[in-house]
């Protein structure tokens, strides 16, 4: 078993460290040798079809749903197509408006999640085209979808998903760029810039992993608490939702992820002396507002751990502890900023003596609705 874990104590840690490879493998030949364009030969949809897409629904469960929330930002920004996200177990029951010009993107690591499969079938029944983003070639979801984008993360064993999630993000970047390039919603130079930055992500993840010790200390500090908050704005909010889920799944510490600006409309009442708050601030246009939200919780006694992009010094003054992550273009930051949050969950679970790879009550793949 130790051999399977390649010297790591747990599958989860091994899988966290496999992310640079998973990014490279998922990008693979989908980046044109010129380094400026995306090639997606696996897609059967025609350019003519892409021009007809009026709306996109992204449907998934759990961590894959959180990847879909980032996917919404990516597609809307790059391709300017309106996107809705739904939790798969809710999708069918809200009588969603699905037309033949609706593209439904289902996201599933295993490709076997019952709720996701049921949503896929409902979408097809209503005449939509379905794209599956999955890690398992030949899975049920892959077989039934019209198009399949495989994430080449390799087998994921730990129940808490890490490299599958980040590979799903990479798949969304590639697909979003592909749509933009087909629709002409972004100019070629911009697409080339994003592709260049995408290729730099694996090395930047390596750099973050070199700071795992800092996160381990943070995890030890939070492990004695029963409640904490994650805050972030914009795309950072989608990332903190995933960070909070990860922590709940394996450390059993209750946490809530909140859009920082919304705190003052209720949840701020829960901020009391010493409560840990993890603040993510990677988006330049929201930076100032985020810093003022951090000051609001600090003023009420919160102990704030801040994660921000290198070069923003204002945050350093506002928080109690700080971790800097490498710079990238703001849209790509989730592929970096989630990594410290994965490590935080891992080390908090470890500090509490939990079974990291097999958390109570949870299954890797849920095949009942």
CA gap 277, 255 in Å, rounded: 9
CA gap 331, 350 in Å, rounded: 32
Residues within window 171-210 making contact with ligand G6P, judged by CB under 6 A: none
Verify binding: residue 116, ligand G6P, rule CB under 6 A.
yes
CA gap 296, 264 in Å, rounded: 8
Residues within window 25-64 making contact with ligand G6P, judged by CB under 6 A: 61-64
* Min CB(182)–ligand G6P separation in Å: 27
Residues within window 145-164 making contact with ligand G6P, judged by CB under 6 A: 159, 161
CA gap 231, 109 in Å, rounded: 26
Active-site amino acid positions: 364
* DSSP string for residues in 258-309: EEGGGGGGTGGGG--TT-EEEEEE--GGGHHHHHHHHHHHHTTT-EEEEEEE
Angle, alpha carbons 171-174-180 (nearest 5°): 135
Verify binding: residue 328, ligand G6P, rule CB under 6 A.
no
Verify binding: residue 85, ligand G6P, rule CB under 6 A.
no
**In the numeric block, which tokens belong to residue 112?**
């076997």
* Min CB(293)–ligand G6P separation in Å: 28
* DSSP string for residues in 148-171: EEE-------SSS-SHHHHHHHHH
Beta partners for 215?
A: none
CB nearer to ligand G6P: pick between 62 and 234? 62
CB nearer to ligand G6P: pick between 161 and 328? 161
* Min CB(141)–ligand G6P separation in Å: 8
Q: Give the residue carrying structure tokens 């946490």.
A: 255
Nearest to 57 by CA among 86, 79, 30: 86
* Min CB(115)–ligand G6P separation in Å: 8
* Min CB(61)–ligand G6P separation in Å: 4
CB nearer to ligand G6P: pick between 113 and 328? 113
Residues within window 346-365 making contact with ligand G6P, judged by CB under 6 A: 362-365
Verify binding: residue 290, ligand G6P, rule CB under 6 A.
no
Instruction: Say how many residues touch ligand G6P, by CB under 6 A.
Output: 16
Q: Give the binding range for ligand G6P (CB under 6 A) out of 103-111, 184-192, 214-222, 261-269.
A: 103-111
* Contact set with ligand G6P (CB under 6 A): 61-64, 108-110, 113, 116, 159, 161, 362-366
């Amino acid at each position: 078993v130790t051999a399977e874990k390649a010297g790591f104590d747990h599958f989860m840690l091994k899988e966290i460290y496999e992310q640079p490879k998973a990014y490279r493998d998922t990008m693979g030949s989908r980046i044109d040798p010129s380094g400026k364009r995306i090639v997606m030969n696996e897609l059967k949809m025609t350019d003519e079809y892409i021009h007809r897409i009026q709306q996109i629904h992204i449907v998934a469960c759990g961590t894959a749903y959180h990847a879909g929330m980032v996917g919404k930002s990516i597609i809307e920004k790059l391709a300017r197509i309106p996107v809705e996200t739904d939790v798969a177990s809710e999708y069918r029951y809200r009588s969603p408006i699905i037309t033949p010009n609706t593209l439904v993107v289902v996201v599933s690591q295993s490709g076997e999640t019952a709720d996701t499969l049921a949503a896929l079938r409902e979408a097809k029944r209503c005449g939509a085209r379905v794209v599956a983003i999955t890690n398992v070639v030949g899975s049920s979801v892959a077989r039934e979808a019209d198009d399949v984008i495989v994430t080449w993360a390799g087998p994921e064993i730990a129940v808490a998903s890490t490299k599958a999630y980040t590979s799903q993000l990479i798949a969304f970047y590639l697909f979003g760029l592909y749509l933009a390039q087909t629709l002409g919603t972004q100019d070629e130079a911009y697409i080339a810039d994003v592709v260049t930055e995408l290729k730099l992500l694996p090395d930047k993840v390596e750099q973050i992993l070199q700071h795992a010790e800092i996160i381990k200390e943070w995890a030890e500090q939070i492990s004695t608490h029963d409640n904490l908050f994650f805050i972030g704005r914009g795309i950072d909010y989608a990332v903190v939702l995933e960070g909070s889920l990860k922590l709940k799944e394996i450390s059993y510490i209750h946490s809530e992820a909140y859009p920082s600006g919304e705190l003052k409309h209720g949840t701020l009442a829960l901020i009391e002396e010493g409560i840990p708050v993890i603040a993510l601030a990677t988006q330049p246009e929201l930076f100032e507002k985020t810093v003022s939200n951090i000051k609001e919780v600090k003023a009420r006694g919160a102990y704030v751990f801040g994660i921000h992009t290198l070069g923003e010094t204002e945050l350093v003054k506002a928080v109690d502890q700080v971790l800097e992550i490498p710079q990238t273009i703001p849209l790509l930051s989730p592929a970096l900023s989630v990594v410290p949050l994965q490590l935080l969950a891992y080390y908090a679970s470890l500090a509490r003596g939990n079974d990291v790879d097999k958390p109570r009550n949870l299954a890797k793949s849920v095949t009942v609705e």
